[in-house]
Amino acid sequence: MHFDFTKKHILEDKRVRLSPLAKEHFLPLQDLSMDADIWTYFLEKGQGGQQFETYINNAFIQQAFQNEYPFVVFDKSTQQYAGMTRFYNYSSELKTIKIGHTWYGKDFRGTGVNKHCKYLLFEFAFEKLQLERIGFGAYATNIISLAAMKSVGCQQEGVLRNLFPALDGNGRTDCALFSILREEWMKGVKTDLGNKLFK
């Protein structure tokens, strides 16, 4: 199945609902975006006000060009918007996609929201789109993100040296590359991740 960037894809379970980004999401997401910690490892900043408006508008532009598909994350347990995530770098020929641009408000980190989101995204990519690979990348110094990727079944596969400017503005830092394959998902990761969520 080809990934249709114009379609309204909604992914949900008992805990979270992922919906396509829409204009009505701006205000609740803007409130979350005021937390400076969210943007530490983002090249594209979006901390409130005009900066966040530009960030959201760019997300719409990237979707229009079929480069990215931004989702808004809604936490059903609190009845609040929790953050955002995106599919990007989709290739129908290679049967690959990436997940990134993921952030959550401080009250939703470490609550299980991310694991539920990843389960739904993996299930959609591997079982509906029939893709073979999902890729990820993060600052090699972003210990929390690296641990989160490992916790949902991703495997580290390499490093892009000096890809990013260092956070302190002095020098460069590496990008850690992770991935998960369809075979891995079907042969164990789905069950292992599901056990963490639905036990």
pLDDT tens string 72-117:
999 999 999 999 999 999 999 999 999 999 999 999 999 999 999 9
With 0-12 / 13-18 / 19 or more C-beta atoms within 10 angstroms meaning exposed / middle / buried, residue 103 is: buried
pTM for the full predicted model = 0.96
| Whole-number average pLDDT of the chain | 96
**What would the mean pLDDT of 45-65 be, rounded to a whole number?**
96
Question: Per-residue DSSP letters for 48-73?
Answer: SHHHHHHHHHHHHHHHHTTSEEEEEE
Helix (H, G, I), strand (E, B) or coil at 169: coil
- pLDDT surpassing 80 at residue 191: yes
Residue 133 token pair:
């690979």
> Using 50, 70 and 90 to split pLDDT, how confident is the model at 199?
low
Is the separation of the CB atoms in 69 and 20 below 8 Å? yes
Segments in the chain forming alpha helices (H): 26-33, 49-64, 113-123, 143-151, 182-184, 190-198
**What would the mean pLDDT of 119-142 be, rounded to a whole number?**
98
**What would the mean pLDDT of 124-150 be, rounded to a whole number?**
97
Is the separation of the CB atoms in 134 and 155 below 8 Å? no
> Using 50, 70 and 90 to split pLDDT, how confident is the model at 169?
confident
Residue 163 CA: distances (Å) to CA of 137, 139, 169, 172: 11, 9, 13, 7
User: Any bridge partners for residue 98, and if so which?
Assistant: 88, 135
Helix (H, G, I), strand (E, B) or coil at 110: coil
Is the separation of the CB atoms in 158 and 196 below 8 Å? no
